[in-house]
């Protein structure tokens, strides 16, 4: 699944590792997941789960991704060791590693916040003081990114019905690119048959679309949790279709 990992689950050392991986990925002009898979011998979904969904894998996976991106393996090994040190409560070792990496003493112990923000015409994943990470605008069609941005903005202001309506429109717009059928969900089925999205994403899409349709028709009240789930699915769908090496 390509849902964004809950942003409050990461400790500071985990956030830093992900932040630096994303900065490295961006500095290499955001190569496709397929390209990285070919270079690392790791699956596209594994790489996607790290770079986009923010999941912390084993060190061997991180090492392969860093090598595929021509990054500094020694630096990332120390960043990963900081995670292990923090998990084990070895604060002195974490501080020592932070000093070796040139991190301010207060920086690698403070709590930071990772969140999705929308500004300047784009949606960004941002954490701490690292420059905003914007993987979608480089690959997804502008009109689809615009729908997603609008949904993020609506959710942020508490307009949950509008959020779900915009996500429904996004699902249908992506589907319209895949099929001429009259069923708004035909596109999801086509993407599934072509193995562009996994079955669980297609099934989740049908559920999100159905709930959103009920809200739009006024037969179901808008709920913050449904709105958040719709946004999470929208990011997953866009990521599957436009960030996993598909032209």
Checking if the pLDDT of 215 tops 50, the result is yes
Strands, E, within the chain: which ranges? Answer: 114-119, 122-127
CA-CA distance, 147 to 155, in Å (whole number)?
A: 12
**What phi, psi does 231 have (nearest 5°)?**
-65, -40
The SS3 assignment for 118 reads strand
Question: Per-residue pLDDT tens for 3-39?
Answer: 333 334 457 788 889 889 988 998 898 898 899 999 9
pLDDT at 202 over 50: yes
- The domain ranges of the chain are 12-127, 142-242
* Per-residue pLDDT reduced to its tens digit, 216-247: 999 999 998 899 889 888 888 887 887 754 44
Q: Judge contact between 41 and 63, C-beta under 8 A.
A: no
Q: Looking at 40-44, 91-95, 169-173, 202-206, which range is the least confident one?
A: 91-95
Q: 230 is written with which tokens?
A: 């719709």
What does the chain come to in residues?
247
Q: Fill in the DSSP letter of residue 195.
A: T
Instruction: Say how far apart CA 178 and CA 188 lie, in whole Å.
Output: 8
Average of per-residue pLDDT across 80-86: 83
Give the predicted TM-score (pTM) of the model.
Answer: 0.50
Confidence of residue 104 (pLDDT cuts 50, 70, 90): low
- Looking at the predicted structure, is the pLDDT value of residue 109 above 80? no
Q: Which residue has the tokens 């979904």?
A: 45
Position 10 scores a pLDDT of 56
């Amino acid at each position: 699944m390509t849902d964004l990992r809950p942003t409050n689950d990461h400790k500071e050392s985990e956030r830093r590792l992900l932040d630096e991986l994303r900065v490295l990925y961006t500095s290499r002009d955001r190569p496709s997941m397929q390209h990285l898979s070919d270079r690392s011998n790791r699956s596209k979904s594994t790489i996607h789960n790290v770079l986009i969904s923010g999941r912390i894998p084993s060190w061997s996976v991180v090492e392969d991704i860093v090598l595929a991106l021509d990054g500094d393996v020694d630096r990332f090994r120390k960043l990963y060791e900081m995670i292990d040190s923090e998990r084990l409560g070895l604060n002195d070792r974490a501080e020592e590693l932070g000093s070796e990496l040139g991190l301010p003493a207060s920086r690698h112990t403070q709590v930071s916040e990772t969140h999705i923000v929308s500004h300047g015409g784009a949606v960004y994943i941002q954490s701490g003081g690292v420059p905003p990470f914007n993987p979608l605008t480089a690959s997804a069609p502008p009109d689809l990114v615009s729908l997603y941005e609008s949904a993020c903005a609506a959710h942020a202001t508490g307009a949950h019905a509008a959020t779900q309506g915009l996500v429904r429109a996004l699902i249908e717009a992506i589907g319209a690119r895949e099929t001429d059928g009259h069923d708004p969900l035909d596109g999801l089925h086509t993407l599934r048959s072509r193995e562009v999205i996994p079955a669980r994403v297609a099934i989740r899409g049908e559920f999100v679309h159905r709930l959103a349709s009920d809200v739009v028709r006024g037969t179901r009240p808008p709920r913050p949790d449904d709105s958040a789930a719709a946004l999470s699915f929208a990011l997953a769908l866009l990521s599957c279709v436009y960030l996993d090496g598909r032209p």
